Amino acid sequence: MRKITDRFLLGVISGLGGNFAKRALEKTFQAIGFSQEKGTEKAAGIFLKKRYIKTPYGKMIGFVADNLIASGLGVICIYTMTFMGKDKYLLKGAGLGLAEWTSLYGVISGLGATAIYPSKPKDTVALMLSHIAFGVTKITIARHIGDERLFSPKDWSKEIINPQEFHLEED
């Protein structure tokens, strides 16, 4: 199979795939009555007041915003893999998912970036778990469909300047 060699495209595809897993888990939690909140509603809350989020246009804005955010986070995931390699990818994916959940739903939401804040404890747990699924899924997709050359960490030790190469004149 031919692998994707473009980091941006790979990131967008991985991010959307991860978002599919995140949304599927959110829907599962809603179906069993564990939680009521959705990532798309939080995303819509970036642009809309709370009363408009569940309208047809609000749902559309939430869907688009959630997928664009996921795509951007997918690109970040690819660059993370570029610098850190693809070994232990499941752990790295879970860590990225948790870091994104903490920063987006914790810090930035707490600063007022979305109209959907604060959340109930069960909703918070459900969204945390769905972001772990998001991180693990997107990094797994990237690992399997991305070209191997994208994930070779640069050997930074070769970038260290050898002081013997320079002949500095003393004053």
Pairwise pLDDT comparison (162 vs 113), residue with the higher score: 113
Structural domain span for residue 40: 7-147
Residue 45 in domain? yes
Residue 158 in domain? no
Residue 106 in domain? yes
Quick one: what percent of the chain has pLDDT higher than 90?
A: 63
Q: Count CB-CB contacts under 10 A for residue 109.
A: 19
| Residue 105 and residue 42 in contact, taking contact as beta carbons nearer than 8 Å | yes
Residue 91 in domain? yes
pLDDT band at residue 155 under the 50/70/90 scheme? low
Residue 2 in domain? no
Residue 140 in domain? yes
Residue 159 in domain? no
Predicted local distance difference test score (pLDDT) of residue 95: 96
This prediction's pTM: 0.84
Predicted local distance difference test score (pLDDT) of residue 13: 98
Number of domains in the chain: 1
Residue 141 in domain? yes
Q: Is 116 helix (H, G, I), strand (E, B) or coil?
A: coil
